[in-house]
Amino acid sequence: MSDRSRSRELYHRACRVMPAGVNSPVRAFRSVGGDPIFYERGSGCHVVDADGNRYVDYVCSWGPLILGHAHPEVVEAVRTTAASGLSFGAPCRQEVELAELVTSAVPHLEMVRFVSSGTEAVMSAIRLARGATGRDLVLKFDGCYHGHADHLLVSAGSGLATFGTPSSAGVPESFAGHTAVLPLDDENAFKTLMEHRGHEIAAVIIEGVPANSGLLIQRPEFMRSIRDECTNYGALLILDEVITGFRLGTNGAAGLYGVTPDLATYGKVIGGGMPVGAYGGSRELMEQLSPLGPVYQAGTLSGNPVTMAAGTAALRSLLTNDGSAYEELERLGARLEMGLSRAMQNAGLPWSVARVGSILWLVLQNGKAPRRFDEIQTQTADIYAGLHSALLGRGISLAPSAYEVMFVSLAHDDTVIDETVGTFEEVLGEMA
């Protein structure tokens, strides 16, 4: 699989007209080396690049392709809906059907509003929380990613509980000053901040399972303490389920941890692979949105009929047969975890695999899987770069970043997973 000349040609053309030749930074392969791969098509659990090379895909468009690439029912829904019109900028039947499906499946969602991305969903949910509480301060956790809205592109400062500092140029200090940042997995730090500033906090936001800085699986006790303290101080709990929503089950991470958020944000899976986001909660909160209430949010392409139809087809397929799809995803994820872990052990490497459901992360360091961003060891990135390149050369596509996760879809079967494990064993043997 050495011929990637067409991808290289496309990349050189792209660099002349797009910054770094990409429309999202991680795609540039800067952290793993080499030139990015340009894909032409996908089917099931496989993708094919511009040179005709075929790969087993564990990126799955960063999570939404839970049914696999080009699932027939989703493709047919897109085809038939697009034939009747791509966009109206007006209400359509498809958005009602998807809203009914989502709210009937998730216990704490009485109403939802659709937007076009996860970033937009989180941004809008925070505005709603601020409007509903009359407060400005938002608390997030270091290592959690909630999109690229200015006030959320912040990282922890030097103290244990600090105001955020901008982690991107172009973000004013004053914006970041409305966001406090704490470490994950630290009840004491969280409770101390709430004691001092809880009555100023509009919302506490956390990823259902932090999955953009490794897979930082949180303890249920920590998540429940967040829920309790939010209730005590009148702050709203926003659960960012953009990755976990409808991937870990119909109730996502909320069901995993046994917590009920005030607001939840969605993306990824509910669009069937099309661009989408959504946020929702109780009727009382959601009816504070314009035109019923004072909190403004709008979008010309929100509720786009093609996206809504794709999402409805995907969720209907996923939710049939009394949850058997999630049992199968759990089984496939566990099979891959066991195989990769066994390969590491056989190679004499002190690494491990973190997993929740069909989301996995290669923990390429000593010790237990981290629960905090500052526990990730820096050498992980260098090790991963070599592993990524070697696997890509053998037809296995992983995310081009050591801090991103692997996704298993329902299109991955036992044969594909076992072949992946075998390839992984070969690569580890060469690396050792």
- Secondary structure (DSSP) of 290-333: TTTSSB----TTTT-HHHHHHHHHHHHHHH-GGGHHHHHHHHHH
Which candidate in 55, 58, 145, 384 is catalytic? Answer: 145
Query: 22 vs 14, 69, 298, 324, CA distance in Å?
Result: 7, 21, 28, 38
Q: Which residue has the tokens 């960063």?
A: 62
Q: Are 235 and 198 in contact (CB under 8 A)?
A: yes
| Amino acid of residue 117 | S
* Beta pairing partners, 57: 397
Q: Report the sign of the C-alpha dihedral through residues 361, 363, 369, 370, in that order.
A: negative
Within a 10 A sphere around the Cβ of 84, how many other Cβ atoms? 12
| Amino acid of residue 320 | T
Q: Which two tokens stand for residue 114?
A: 């659709």
User: Cα separation of 282 and 304, whole Å?
Assistant: 23
Q: How many Å from the N-terminal Cα to the C-terminal Cα in the chain?
A: 22
| Amino acid of residue 17 | V
Which candidate in 268, 279, 326, 384 is catalytic? Answer: 268
- Secondary structure (DSSP) of 170-201: T--HHHHTTEEEE-SS-HHHHHHHHHHHGGGE
Query: Is 191 in the active site?
Result: no
Q: Are 82 and 274 in contact (CB under 8 A)?
A: no
User: Cα separation of 398 and 430, whole Å?
Assistant: 18
Which candidate in 11, 240, 279, 403 is catalytic? Answer: 240
Q: Are 376 and 185 in contact (CB under 8 A)?
A: no
* Beta pairing partners, 181: 140, 162
CA dihedral 107, 108, 110, 116 (to 10 degrees): -110
| Residues designated catalytic | 145, 240, 268
